Structure 1
Amino acid sequence: MKTKLDKLLEFPCSFTYKVMGFADPQLVDQALAVVQRHVPGDYMPEVKSSSKGSYHSVSITITATCTEQIETLYHELGKLPLVRMVL
């Protein structure tokens, strides 16, 4: 994936991922496990439910150090079975 993030962002920078998936208690744990594997830290994800409660969105903010790190996390988070979309 070739992006222009390196031209748009000045590293290190704060970067938020919004992970949307099924309303399963493991969604947050799985997303945090992926983030911890690539960018260890103490995270406080923000979780919001959809209007019908079928889906959750989990916002996790990291301190990104390079474009490759951002792209890798998008790819890894998107592979989780409970995830439907990563923004």
Structure 2
Amino acid sequence: MDTHFDQLLDFPCFQTFKVMGVAHERLPDDVIGCLQNHAPGDYNPTVKPSPKGNYHSVSVSVRVTSKEHMELIYTELANLELVRVVL
């Protein structure tokens, strides 16, 4: 992944990651577990169901320290089994 985050943001900063995945009770825990591995912190995710209830979005604000750190988090979140999209 070669983004331009370093040109757009001043690090360290807080970035809200919005993770959309299958509506499963494990999704928020999987997202937080992944974040704890790469950016330990005290997280309070917001979970919203899709209109039909098949998917949930999990939004979490994370302190990122560099372009590489942010790219790593995007990649690791996208690799989670229940996740379909990371914004």
- Is TM (by shorter chain) over 0.5? yes
1:65 aligns with 2:65: yes
**Which runs of structure 2 are paired with 1:4-83 in the superposition (5 Å)?**
4-83=4-83
For 1:21 and 1:3, the matched residues in 2 are separated by 23
Q: TM-score, normalised by structure 1?
A: 0.97
For 1:37 and 1:57, the matched residues in 2 are separated by 20
Q: Report runs of 4+ in structure 1 exceeding 2 Å deviation.
A: none
For 1:27 and 1:56, the matched residues in 2 are separated by 8
Structure 2: which amino acid aligns with 1:6? D
Structure 2: which amino acid aligns with 1:41? G
Which string of whole-angstrom CA distances, capped at 9 and with x for unpartnered residues, describes residues 36-61 of structure 1? 00000000000000001110000011
Structure 2: which amino acid aligns with 1:15? Q
Structure 2: which amino acid aligns with 1:49? P
For 1:51 and 1:63, the matched residues in 2 are separated by 30
Q: TM-score, normalised by structure 2?
A: 0.97
Displacement of 1:83 after TM fit? 0.5
Provide the identity percentage: 52
Q: CA RMSD in A?
A: 0.6
Structure 1: state its 5+ residue gaps.
none
